[in-house]
Amino acid sequence: MDGWLSAGGRKLVLGMVHLSPLPGTPFHEEGSFERTLETAVRSARALEEGGADGCLIQTVDRVYTVDERSDPARTVAMGLIVRAVAEATGERFLVGAQLMRNALQASLAVAKVAGGSFIRAGALVGQTLSPHGMVRPDPLAVMDYRRRIGARHVAVIAEVDSMHFRWFGGEKTTAEVARAAQSAGADAVSLCHPDEDTALEMIASVRAAAPQLPVILAGHTRHENAARLMAAADGAFVGTCLESGGWGGEIDAGRVAAYVDIVRKVER
């Protein structure tokens, strides 16, 4: 794989930047957008200061459509935040966009126009049951749109077995879903499991089925288990353990630095 996802031996630490509900969504608080933007920029700077490789900016709007729709105001707001973060951080700091639940074309557009490096797809192949209904992705439409807007350089990291995706309808292994996602155009896959041994088995199965496909942990990493999990994976999306006061708090640069130090020792 070309590009930053295959940087030789380097494990990617990608911090989560969780946004408050954005304009165009039912739980948006009028007048809160500037505060949301400023918090995202501060969090991204703290991640960079702590040595992280980048961040994933993710909408947390509480309720979502399950298809490609994204309210225009919401999409614009996301674009402004991604642009502000990209401008506030260095050229090597990776900025990702994820408009939940699965607005992949809108996410690609935001990343392409606003200076993002990647998107995370909650579902790229198959289908998954969510609290808001069945998510049925259209990989052909997504990849065609990616080509049409000239966003091939925007990496697509597809969730294949995680808190956001479980293959619905019949048995298909994590490795089989990963291979299907790779065939559909994913540049990497993300997966996770709260049980560490199970997560390691999942990573090993994908390695065997698709040796060149980068595997990013989709969650459940923390300082205590980072060394073991990151020894097997190519990177991780890291959230709660970097946030002051737990999930949804601001990123603490000291916690980031401690996590990154563990990961860098694994690389040696």
One-letter amino acid at 63 equals V
Domain-located, residue 2: no
Compute the distance between CA of residue 130 and CA of residue 212 in angstroms, rounded to an integer: 30
Compute the distance between CA of residue 145 and CA of residue 233 in angstroms, rounded to an integer: 29
One-letter amino acid at 55 equals C
Q: CATH code at 69?
A: 3.20.20.70
Compute the distance between CA of residue 165 and CA of residue 56 in angstroms, rounded to an integer: 17
Domain-located, residue 139: yes
**pLDDT-based confidence at residue 249 (cuts at 50, 70, 90):** confident
Tokens of 246: 């737990």
Domain-located, residue 142: yes
- Cα–Cα nearest to 199, from 242, 160, 255: 160
Domain-located, residue 23: yes
**pLDDT-based confidence at residue 1 (cuts at 50, 70, 90):** very low
Give the range of the structural domain holding residue 225, as residue numbers without chain letter.
Answer: 10-267
Domain-located, residue 1: no
Domain-located, residue 101: yes
Compute the distance between CA of residue 73 and CA of residue 55 in angstroms, rounded to an integer: 22
What is the domain count for the chain? 1
pLDDT digits (tens, 9 = 90+) for 39-87: 999 999 999 999 999 999 999 999 999 999 999 999 999 999 999 999 9
Domain-located, residue 4: no
Instruction: Return phi, psi of residue 91, to 5°.
Output: -60, -30
Domain-located, residue 210: yes
One-letter amino acid at 137 equals P
